[in-house]
Amino acid sequence: MKIQLNQIAHARSGDKGAHSNVGLMFKSKQLYEWAKSHITTDLVKVHFQSIAKGAIVRYEMDNLLALNFILGDSLGGGGSESLINDAQGKTHGQALLLMEVDLPDNLVQFVNKK
Amino acid sequence: MKDIIRIGNGQGFWGDSIDAPVRLAKDGPLDYLTLDYLAEVTLSIMQRQKLKNPKAGFAHDFLDLIKRILPEISEKGLKVITNAGGVNPQSCRNELIQLAQSSDSDMKIGVIQGDDIFPTLAELRTKGVTFENMDTGDSFDSIADNVYSANVYINSITIAEALEKGAQIVLAGRVSDPGLALGPCIYEFGWNSDNYDLLAAGTLAGHITECGAQCTGGNYSRWQDVPDLAGVGYPIIEMQPNGEFCITKHDNSGGLVNRETIGEQVLYEMGDPNHYISPDVCVDFTSFKLNDLGHNKVAITNVAGLIPTDTYKVSISYFAGYKASGQLTISGPNAYEKAQLTAEIIWKRLKNSGVTYQDTSTEYLGLSSCHRDINPVPSQINEVVLRLGVKDANKDNVNRFGKEIAPVITSGPPGITGFSGGRPKAQEIVAYWPALIPKELVHTTVDVI
């Protein structure tokens, strides 16, 4: 089933110098295990191609059922030097939740209805 | 020793709610109130205020707050820990003493100093500290003549020491944000500086609460599930001597505390979760267990810490030129096409007048300014806000940009409004330069009177 990550995950983002980070957290172990093999740095790189000019790094946090992505050079310089509206990457979490993914049938039970 | 201490954070950043800390202090049990007033840029503003006036250079909002919670401090034993001292905690203390005397209160106030190394930068460089940019590796020489402030993120033992000496209010400058919460844990439970797991637990607790309501339902992905955000309760740590703790909020407050509101905030501004470096300890954020107890309470156990590094982080700010931004609202038929033409006109007129810039930006607010090509362009756009920005070393050039916004209302396409507040003026860019310093070169002092 085609869904938006918004229907199965939580996200929060902020700045790390000239980069931003996006934490992506899941409610169930099954969704997290699926995400570990499917939400790859390559996929995130393509999703953020118009925002992140640098490399994408991914960390796994099994204890929190979460992935942490660093989006390299994604803030127009970052901090007070940046001219862009979202100079701190505050909205990058919401941007990742817009990603469309193909969820296997056995995980459809975890999709948020609203 | 107490079985449990309650530490509430009432201020997540400079400019956060002025009522939240008052509600934390008055609406339920609380032992410690922590307040974070500093961002990187804040210290540079304070340093310049102090240059003009030797009595300035701290967070004035803090004095207004203390007036409102004086009874809780002097009668109920609430202790306050804050970095509101900025670059002039002594002066902040003097004002507090006057405030207490005028209310017939007697308060012991602790001052922590030694984080402000701005006056000794040259001396430290002769001792071999390079202050090379820790993110980019750039040489400090490139900014040496333009530095506004330099502050070390010092450890939390200093806070514990001030409490040990009887301080009811602890005034610091640049201690780490999580350290504001770790300090009272070290003091109350006698945690040792080499018990890394305990220090890591206090640091994680402080990390979760340091941004105020961001762990109690604010900025939450499932915002539809959060009751009464208008009356959102700010977070409270319930810490036990063994480092196990809960995050909660006052019973009668709005907002939400559950596994996901806490988990999202754990991830906030996270780099490598295996090595979260603070002045006190290195925390392994992949270690802990999180247990949602229901009723707005989440328990955290099994936090693992590692030996801290032998350097402190230094937050340096410096002058990096000028910038300005201006915006116009463009409405009606073909709003987006008209906004694009408007931008083209303004940039062409500036070019024709012979002005160029180091950097410019053109954004259409309301149309993917944040998420760019992640969103498809809608077929109908009824209005859009055009936001233009420039950056340059030349202040006159930046001010020239500000004069080119309004004319387009009468000399561009139709349906343009929203130009108010006068011409955008050149603002100084105060940029951030992170560096490291060996711990043995930093000398902190704690005095309580």
Q: Report, as ranges of residue numbers, the positions in chain A whose pLDDT lies below 70.
A: 114
Most B CBs within 10 A among A80, A84, A111, hence the mutation to make, goes to A80
Enumerate the residues of chain A whose CB falls inside 8 A of the CB of residue B267: 12, 21, 23, 25, 61, 64, 66, 68
Please list every residue in chain B whose beta carbon sits closer than 8 Å to the beta carbon of residue A91.
370-371
Contact B386, B364 (CB under 8 A): yes
A contacts of B42 (beta carbons < 8 Å): none
Which of B224, B266, B373 lies closest to A64 in CB terms?
Answer: B266
How far, in Å, are B53, B106, B261, B303, B352 from residue B175 at the CA level? 24, 26, 26, 22, 50
Residue A67: closest CA among chain B residues belongs to which residue? B267
Taking CB atoms and an 8 Å cutoff, what residues of chain A touch B323? Answer: 81, 83
Nearest to A97 among B221, B270, B271 (CB): B221
Cα–Cα distance measured from residue B401 to residue B106, given in angstroms and rounded to the nearest whole number: 55
Name the DSSP letter for residue B332. Answer: S
Angle separating helix axes B179-189 and B157-164, nearest 10 degrees: 50
CB pairs A-B closer than 8 Å: 127
Domain extents for chain A? 2-106
What pLDDT, on a 0 to 100 scale, did the predictor assign at position A114? 64
Q: How far apart are CA B270 and CA A23, in angstroms?
A: 8
Domain boundaries, chain B: 5-115+153-309, 316-432
Contact between B264 and A10 using a beta-carbon 8 Å cutoff: yes
Q: Which residues of B touch A99 (CB under 8 A)?
A: 374
Min Cα–Cα distance to chain A from B153, Å: 16
Check CB contact under 8 Å for A12 and B372.
no
In the 8-state DSSP scheme, what is residue B335?
H
Question: Average pLDDT of each block of 10 consecutive residues along chain B (449 residues)?
Answer: 97 94 98 92 85 93 95 95 95 94 89 95 97 96 95 97 98 94 98 97 98 98 98 98 98 97 97 97 98 98 98 95 96 96 98 97 95 88 96 98 96 92 92 96 96
Q: Do B374 and A9 touch (CB under 8 A)?
A: no
The pairing of strands B359-365 and B427-438 is: unpaired
A47–B363 CB contact, under 8 Å: no
Q: Does B219 touch chain A (CB under 8 A)?
A: yes
**CA-based nearest residue to B62, from B38, B31, B40:** B38
CB contact under 8 A, A21 and B135: no
Chain A residues in contact with B431 by the CB 8 A cut-off are: 79-81
Tell me which residues of chain B, numbers 227 to 256, contact chain A at a CB-CB cutoff of 8 Å. none
- B362: three-class secondary structure by DSSP: strand
CB within 8 Å: A80 and B430:
yes
Which of A50, A80, A91 is closest, CB to CB, to B431? Answer: A80
Task: Tell if the CB–CB gap between A16 and B271 is shorter than 8 Å.
Answer: yes
CB–CB of B271 and A114 under 8 A? no
ipTM score for this prediction: 0.97
Residue pair B432/A80 in contact (Cβ under 8 Å)? The answer is yes
What's the CA gap between B429 and B321, in Å, rounded? 5
Nearest residue of A to residue B270, measured between CA atoms: A21
How big is the CA angle at B354 (ends B353 and B357), to the nearest 5 degrees? 115
Q: Does residue A19 contact residue A72 with C-beta atoms inside 8 Å? A: yes
**B241, B1 contact by CB (below 8 A):** yes
Length of chain B: 449
- CB-based contact B270 A62, cutoff 8 Å: no
A24, A57, A63, A92: best to mutate for the B interface, most B CBs within 10 A = A63
Question: In sequence order, what are the residues at sequence separation of 6 or more whose Cβ sits closer than 8 angstroms to the Cβ of residue B35?
Answer: B9, B10, B11, B21, B62, B65, B80, B81, B82, B83, B84, B180
What kind of architecture, by CATH, is found in domain B316-432?
A: 2-Layer Sandwich (3.30)
Q: Which of residues 370-409 of B touch A (CB under 8 A)?
A: 370-375, 387, 389-391
